[in-house]
Amino acid sequence: MRWLALVWKSLLRSRRRTLLIVGSLVLSVFTVAVLQSLLTTLDSITSNPNSGNRLAVRHKSGITQMLPRSYETFLRQQPEVETVCSLQWFGGYYQDPRNFFANFASDETTIFQTFREEFGLANLTEAQVKEYLRDGAGCIVGESLALKNGWKVGDVVPLTGTIFPINPRLTIRLIFKSSRPSDENVLHFHYKVLEEGVPRMKGLTGAFWVRVHRPEDIPRLIERVDRHFANSAYETLTETESAFNLAFVKMLGNISTIIQGITIAVVLAILIVTANTMGTAIRERGAEIAVFRAMGFSASRVLSLLLAEGVLLVGLGAALGLLLAQAAAGGVRSAMGAVMPFFADFEITSVTALLCLAGALAVGLLSTFIPAYAATRRPITEGLRSVG
């Protein structure tokens, strides 16, 4: 018998209790890991590393209001600006309304430059890009979206419009790879398809995406653009891409506060449950602890053994909970990734996993230490008298 065997066997003393506590730990760690990962995912939308030099210009009165495409001329004239791209959320679906993914009508002439990181432009050949530019009914799709639907270059994708009354049939001209899976869950087609198919969209766009040369120029540019169009028929609201995305995410409510609140509640609940269980388990063993000490186990040795039990118990629960969360993350990716593109990035990051593990270990140590310390302070003779 080794020390670990001793600790392990002690843990299995009351199987029902051990199972119960491991079970509640699994659930708690699972919940916290998934919720925290949700938060990380949402955070990553608002902090796209490629978004630092992009601005979104939209109508001051809201995302659904349109701006004249002619504004592009003024935007282009600004010395800070590198490219401008009209982008309109199309909101169509392929075959089944549930089979939903992000699709946009976008200015094909500037889309690659404006979002060159997302499209992995460096890996695309000029010929590939030209193929798309040449075909007005062409489209480009991300690789993971293509894989999911079994699409390849040359296939025709019929899209059914939901916001706009057109059902464009688009030929895939290019499949791109991106560094983030969420960026691959996207389809773009020529802006003309929207303008020509939907008369009320003629000369209008939902937003301009502006790429600047240097991020430092952004505040100045925002100020100038909005001032220029103030008091016109179409006033603008210019903001950074992060702020724009944040506005989008805010629709989900103050989710961050809710998640942190739930996390704290779960951690406190599990701390109380674990402390109570470990407390009972250790107090029941008063006589046994006294016997160990009579045999020559020092108080600190007994304390370490008890702490090892607590840590092993909690570590087990946490590890299982994380495994479960990891498995669930795959489900979330495939189920939600299509509805909200950023969920395609959903994963239990190693930071989240480590935090959960560290939190669980802290819970284990904290909940075990107090009763264990008290038990080893107790006189041996008293422990021996407590024999039932």
Partner 1 sequence: MNANRFDLGGGEPIITLRGIAKSYWREALEIPVLQGIDLEIPVGSFVALMGPSGSGKTTLLNLVAGIDRPTCGTLEVCGHELNDLDDDELAAWRNAHVGFIFQNYNLVPVLTAFENVELPLLLTSLGRRARRERVAEVLALVNLTDKQWNYPRQLSGGQEQRVAIARAIVTDPDILVADEPTGALDAKNAEEVLGLMGRLNADMGKTIVMVTHDPKAAHHARHQIHLEKGVLDRAVEVNR
User: Residue 246 contacts by C-beta under 8 Å, 6 or more apart in sequence?
Assistant: 46
Residues in 297-326 that interact with partner 1 by CB under 8 A = 297-301
Q: At its nearest, how many Å lie between partner 1 and the CB of residue 285?
A: 9
Residues 177/197, Cβ–Cβ less than 8 Å? no
Distance CA 54, CA 87 (A): 13
The nearest distance, CB 306 to partner 1, in angstroms, is: 14
Q: How far apart are CA 187 and CA 151, in angstroms?
A: 12
Q: Is 16 in the site for partner 1 (CB under 8 A)?
A: no
Residue 296 binds to partner 1 (criterion: CB under 8 A): yes
Q: Which of 104, 112, 292, 346 binds partner 1 (CB under 8 A)?
A: 292
β-strand 186-190 against 102-106: which pairing, if any?
parallel
What 384-387 contacts at long range (C-beta under 8 Å, 24+ apart), as own/partner pairs, is 384/287, 384/290, 384/291, 384/294, 386/286, 386/287, 386/290, 387/287
Q: Is 287 in the site for partner 1 (CB under 8 A)?
A: yes
Binding of residue 261 to partner 1 (CB under 8 A): no
- Based on the shown chain and the rule CB under 8 A, indicate whether residue 288 belongs to the binding site for partner 1: yes
For residues 294 and 290, give the distance between their C-alpha atoms in angstroms, rounded to a whole number.
6
Minimum distance, C-beta of residue 387 to partner 1, in the bound complex (Å): 5
Q: Which stretch binds partner 1 (CB under 8 A): 9-17, 61-69, 200-208, 225-233?
A: 9-17
Site string for partner 1, 362-381 (x = CB under 8 A): -----------------xxx
- From residue 273, alpha-carbon distances to 155, 280, 306, 348, 362 in Å are 57, 11, 17, 25, 14
> CB of 21: closest distance to partner 1 in angstroms?
17
44: its two tokens: 């990553």
Asked if 3 interacts with partner 1 (CB under 8 A), we say yes
Q: Which residues bind partner 1 (CB under 8 A)?
A: 1-3, 6, 9-10, 12-13, 287-288, 290-301, 379-381, 384, 387
